[in-house]
Amino acid sequence: AVKCFDPHTFKRNIPVRLVGGSHSAEGRVEVNVDGEWGTINYQYWDIRDATVICRMLGFQFALQARGANSYPFRFGIGSGPIWFGYLNCLGSEESIADCNIYTTNLYGYSGYYSHSYDAGVICYAKKLQARLVGGSQSNEGRAEIFYNNAWGSVCGFSSEWDIREANVFCKMLGYTFAIRAWGSGQFGEGSGTTSVYRPQCTGTEANIAECNNNGWGVSCSSSYRDVGVGCANQTVSVRLIDADGIQSHEGRVEVYYNNTWGTICDNGWDIRDATVVCRMLGYPFAIFSRTSA
Residue 106: the pLDDT is 46
pLDDT tens sequence across 150-199: 898 998 877 789 999 999 999 999 999 999 999 877 898 887 778 888 88
Residue 110: the pLDDT is 42
Please state the φ and ψ torsions of residue 51, each to the nearest 5 degrees: -60, -40
Question: Are 162 and 227 a contacting pair, CB within 8 Å?
Answer: no
Q: Is the pTM of this model over 0.85?
A: no
Exposure string for 39-70, b = 16+ CB within 10 A, e = fewer = bbbbbebbbbbbbbbbbbbebbbbbbbbbbbb
Q: Which of 116, 126, 20, 18 is nearest to 63 (CA)?
A: 126
Measure the CA–CA gap between 182 and 252, rounded to whole angstroms: 29
Q: pLDDT class for 2, splitting at 50, 70, 90?
A: low
Q: pLDDT class for 224, splitting at 50, 70, 90?
A: low
- For the cut 60, the answer to whether the pLDDT of residue 80 exceeds it is yes
Residue 221: the pLDDT is 66
Residue 224 to residues 47, 153, 202, Cα–Cα distance (Å): 22, 12, 20
Phi-psi region of 35 (alpha: psi -120 to 50; beta: other; left: phi over 0): left
Q: Is 8 exposed, middle or buried (0-12, 13-18, 19+ CB in 10 A)?
A: exposed
